[in-house]
A and B are shown apart, each in its own frame.
Chain A
């Protein structure tokens, strides 16, 4: 299985743990990810707040750079995923808009044929292309005893309805159950982490994060699993901020789902980026899945 890969800016540094664990897990599963040559930032939610056509053109440059022999592009970040998918979608349904975007791309000698590339999130690829059989047969360290709250956030499951259920998605739940982790019912699984609100308005951001942490604690989760760098950063790096703001005592490690998959596959900890999370995950893993952790530490 070979896909074009758009890592996005966060994976270069602040979410290196995601980048490392994606690489390790995909290598093991025989998924080849070919990074888009010289990709640029997708503009997150910021660029189209100021400029509509330029935002689309900046995003479309990446679609235009996808190797002509590949038809599917995998993005691991929610914002990148939605931006790429949305630009392709809007160009496909509005030819006049597509020619405007292409007129801009032409200034750089590029062009994108709408619909040529199918944009997918990594969780879809693992869930649907690798599938239950492919995941189960790789499991070396079943994660029985580890309670995980699967967190989807917003932009992977909305507004487009073809990825998963928009209100109560299940793909990550299923993926984690295939490695025998104990998936807790997590009512806020598709609620919002606040995105850039942590930079703009503490009060709003902290309240949104508090709800997610509280709901995971109420469900008895040992860890929250994310599939987006922004969600991970907000829940992890601002958790102590939430605690001092509300007087709460949350200490819930926030991991990328690929780190935990890797653990179940028996991959070495150092290939999975553990230790970069701010709320440390190792102590609870040692307690709940000692065998898996011992195997991963030895590797």
Chain B
């Protein structure tokens, strides 16, 4: 692997570093593999975090951003606490999630669609709405799975654990003003 800095192609690496608190630690990766070995979803990832970090240093933007690795991450933070080099692995994977959505490279996973449905409820009500989230997400993305989830929904209803109406916070205007300002200031993020 040729280091990106040597090839003069540092922009991808720099973008990842800039968008992640302590992202510069990435440069200290010793390719030990503790991260992948600690990961509950490691076997299902296209590339382990270790391999992804090598590819980021090699400037392989497209391959990294179209990988399923970041979307397989469930934020358990095992890799982060175990990494001998204190690399904020989970946070780097969050950065890759955002970059892959922005680049239109998040494919073959329903995770971005779920995130979008969730954000929709936060932005419009100030609260998550489980029934609405499930129906909106399933209807838009996997109507067949929705039929399968039906019995579970009924069980939840029978146990008084599902509400039909979303709750709206009182000062939604204030939240929305904050959200709008943050979106403006957040440039790309």
Shortest B14–chain A CB gap in Å is 16
Asked if A128 is at the interface of the complex by the 8 Å CB criterion, the answer is: no
| A219 on interface, CB distance cutoff 8 Å | no
Report whether B111 and A104 are in contact in the complex, using a CB–CB cutoff of 8 Å. no
- Taken residue by residue from 171 to 196, chain A's Cβ proximity to chain B (1 for < 8 Å, 0 otherwise) reads as 00000000000000000000110111
Q: Are A100 and B185 in contact (CB under 8 A)?
A: yes
Known: A48-B94, A49-B97. A192 touches B40 (CB 8 A): yes
A29 close to chain B: CB less than 8 A = no
Q: Which of B121, B171, B182 contacts A53 (CB 8 A)?
A: B182
Partner of B119, one of A14, A51, A103: A51
B113 nearest in chain A by CB position: A200
Given A52-B186, A154-B76, A276-B160, A108:B175 Cβ within 8 A: yes
Q: A14-B162, A49-B111 are in contact. Are A61 and B74 (CB under 8 A)?
A: no
Query: What's the tally of chain B residues with a CB closer than 8 Å to chain A?
Result: 62
Is the C-beta of A277 less than 8 angstroms from some C-beta in chain B?
yes
- A-side interface residues toward B, CB under 8 Å? 9-10, 12-16, 38-41, 43-54, 56-58, 61, 90, 93-94, 97, 100-101, 103-110, 154-155, 158-159, 161, 166-167, 191-192, 194-197, 199-201, 204, 208, 237-238, 241, 275-278
**Could you tell me if A276 and B161 are in contact, using CB atoms closer than 8 angstroms?**
yes
Are A158 and B178 in touch, CB under 8 angstroms? no
Q: Is B3 an interface residue (CB 8 A)?
A: no
* B130 beta carbon closer than 8 Å to chain A: yes
Name B115's contact: one of A16, A50, A191, A194 (CB within 8 Å). A50
- Complex CA gap A154/B78 in Å reads 8
Beyond A13-B162, A52-B186, A195-B75, 10 additional pairs, beta carbon < 8 A: A9-B130, A50-B97, A53-B182, A57-B178, A93-B21, A101-B182, A154-B75, A158-B77, A196-B114, A208-B74
